């Protein structure tokens, strides 16, 4: 399943999980059973979602990960084949492919998630070194924290050495080495993650700017702090600008919005868009994604996002 001869614009390191999504009015409490209003199973995992978002967003995209040899693994491979994603995948005979429980509030679209990475928990720095060439030849490298942090660090170090633009999505909010900050051309936390990283509670744009300053002091190039329906703050030493989100008629499922943002940001940067315009494109894609159920299946195409942007 490994493609050894392709050069890609965007390379993403992360995990795949099978999303098992349950819809209901609320979460049950311990010991309680409630009736749900819906169920769906589909492809997920932050890195895998971002790869689909990047590919649909117009970039030739490669994904580095690890799967089990099971039905969920076959789902992953079939998804990437449909999307034209170059696969740099190893498969375990003994470890299962990851899975995620997703609760979706059927009134608001808000969500809560439990992720078990399965085979992807054994992604290592060596996994990254085995894929050094495709990372070095990429325009943009993206990673997160669902796979072991040693692999994320190795990928960012390799990309930085090769002058590949780095995008680090510090999600979920796990501890990581301080040296990662200086390897980030862009860091993309949401409000909760920004607060965890900086100790600054983020409940307003001014709070986000203070958190952004703290991230710059740690060595980050640009802090992109996503603020849900308010949009995203673009913050570096030259510019601090709030990029508003697009308006939508109805929010269906917010689960993959951050992944839509990160994947489309990478795609836009890879094709040479101005960084502020790349954030506008990413915001629009994220806005479209929440109007649809699911994670990877909800990602819009480049044409859909461009058309939505053209309407203002």
Domains of the chain: residue spans and CATH: 10-310 (3.40.1190.20)
List b or e across 290-299, with b for residues whose CB sees 16 or more CB atoms inside 10 angstroms: beebbbbbbb
Q: How do residues 249-269 score in pLDDT, each as one tens digit?
A: 888 888 889 999 999 999 999
Name the catalytic one among 185, 207, 253, 259.
259
Task: Reply yes or no on whether the pLDDT at 82 is more than 90.
Answer: yes
3-state secondary structure of 203: coil
Query: What's the confidence (pLDDT) of residue 4?
Result: 45
Q: How do residues 285-312 score in pLDDT, each as one tens digit?
A: 999 999 998 889 999 999 999 999 988 7
Non-local (6+) Cβ contacts of 238 within 8 A are none
Give the whole-angstrom CA distance, residue 241 versus residue 224. Answer: 10
pLDDT > 90: percent of the chain: 87
Q: Which residue has the tokens 């509030």?
A: 105
Give the whole-angstrom CA distance, residue 163 versus residue 144. Answer: 19
Query: What's the confidence (pLDDT) of residue 87?
Result: 96
End-to-end CA distance of the chain, in Å? 42
pLDDT > 70: percent of the chain: 98
259 noted as active-site residue: yes
Q: Could you give the residue ranges of the DSSP H alpha helices within 84-223?
A: 125-130, 132-136, 149-161, 191-198, 205-217
**pTM for this structure?**
0.92
Task: Reply yes or no on whether the pLDDT at 63 is more than 60.
Answer: yes
Query: What's the confidence (pLDDT) of residue 2?
Result: 40
Cis peptide before 172 (omega within 30 of 0): yes
């Amino acid at each position: 399943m490994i493609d050894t001869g392709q050069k890609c614009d965007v390379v993403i390191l992360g995990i795949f999980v099978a999303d098992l999504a349950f819809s209901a009015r609320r979460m049950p409490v311990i010991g309680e059973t409630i009736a749900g209003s819906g169920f769906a199973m589909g492809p997920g995992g932050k890195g895998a979602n971002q790869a689909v978002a990047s590919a649909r967003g117009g970039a030739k995209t490669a994904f580095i990960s690890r799967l089990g040899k099971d039905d969920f693994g076959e789902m992953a491979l079939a998804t990437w084949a449909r999307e034209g994603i170059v696969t740099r995948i190893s498969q375990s005979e003994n470890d299962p492919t990851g899975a995620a429980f997703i609760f979706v509030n059927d009134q608001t679209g808000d969500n809560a998630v439990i992720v078990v990475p399965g085979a992807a928990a054994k992604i290592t720095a060596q996994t990254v070194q085995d894929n050094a060439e495709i990372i070095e030849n990429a325009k943009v490298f993206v990673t997160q924290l669902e796979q072991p942090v040693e692999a994320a660090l190795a990928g960012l170090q390799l990309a930085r050495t090769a002058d590949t633009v780095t995008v680090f999505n510090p999600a979920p909010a796990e501890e990581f080495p301080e040296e990662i900050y200086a390897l980030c051309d862009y860091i993309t936390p949401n409000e909760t993650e920004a607060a965890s990283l900086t100790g600054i509670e983020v409940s307003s744009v001014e709070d986000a700017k203070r958190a952004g300053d703290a991230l710059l002091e740690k060595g980050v190039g640009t802090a992109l702090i996503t603020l849900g329906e308010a949009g995203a703050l673009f913050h570096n030493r030259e510019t601090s600008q709030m990029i508003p989100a697009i308006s939508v008629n109805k929010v269906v499922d917010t689960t993959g919005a951050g992944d839509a943002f990160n994947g489309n940001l990478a795609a836009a940067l890879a094709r040479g868009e101005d960084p502020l315009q790349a954030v506008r494109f990413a915001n629009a894609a994220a806005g479209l994604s929440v109007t649809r159920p699911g994670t990877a299946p909800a990602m819009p195409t480049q044409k859909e996002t461009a058309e939505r942007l053209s309407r203002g």
